[in-house]
Amino acid sequence: MTKTNAMRLLEAQGVVFRTCEYEVDPEDLSAETVARKIELPLEQVFKTLLARGDRNGLCFAVIPGNCELDLKALAKGTGDRKIDLVPVKELQGLTGYIRGGVTALAAKKDFPVFLDETAELFDVISVSAGQRGVQMLVHPQDYLRVTGAQLGAWGH
């Protein structure tokens, strides 16, 4: 496995993590499929979404795989009147990552990160390692420390 920038960032910060590799089906990048392949409950597999607010610009929302992003809650948390998901075609240019491999760790720019508060219910959460087919298992407190994420109820 190739070491990703996200892994290098965690190592540089002294964060202990594990990786889980799985076979990628480009037609099915869903969190449900990832959870099944790495044998974790769906609510423990977090997906990283990029959103754009009308006042404060871009941010990452990191929510459990069994949730949809609550755009109203996120807008309130970011101080925006309106917030929408960034179209898939813009992801790589903005983050350096492709759909199914987006992570808030070592992205092209350090956008604010909003982590769903349910992350604290687990010893480890699964987040993308920055490439399709590789997840990282990391302690939520380490993830919060490295990303500077704001906790809240961002999923529903």
Residue-wise pLDDT for 32-51, tens only, equals 999 999 999 999 999 999 99
The CA distance from 104 to 4, in Å, is 13
Write down the pLDDT at residue 2.
84
**Cβ contacts of 34 within 8 Å, gap of 6 or more:** 22, 45, 65, 126, 135
Q: Tokens 């490295």 identify what position?
A: 146
- Note the pLDDT tens digit of each residue in 46-101: 999 999 999 999 999 999 999 999 999 999 999 999 999 999 999 999 999 999 99
- Work out the average pLDDT over 10-36: 95
Sequence-ordered strand ranges (E) for 54-139: 57-64, 83-85, 113-116, 125-131, 134-138
Nearest 5°: the CA angle 52, 103, 41 is: 110
- Whether the per-residue pLDDT at 1 is higher than 90: the answer is no
Lookup result for tokens 């809650």: 73
Is 46 within 8 Å of 103 (Cβ atoms)? Answer: no
- Structure tokens of 60? 């990452």
State residue 6's pLDDT score.
Answer: 97
Report the predicted TM-score, pTM, of the whole model to 2 decimal places.
0.96
Percent above pLDDT 90 for the chain: 97
Q: What is the number of alpha carbons within 13 Å of residue 1 lying toward its C-beta? A: 18
| Average per-residue pLDDT for the chain | 96
For the chain, how many structural domains are there in total?
A: 1
DSSP secondary structure string for all residues of 11-68 = HHTT--EEEEE---BTTB--HHHHHHHHT--GGGBEEEEEEEETTTEEEEEEEETT--
Residue 105 clears pLDDT 90, i.e. is over it: yes
Q: For position 56, which CATH number holds?
A: 3.90.960.10
Range(s) of the domain holding residue 67: 5-152
Residue 99 has a pLDDT of 93
* Distance from C-alpha of 34 to C-alpha of 25, rounded to nearest angstrom: 10
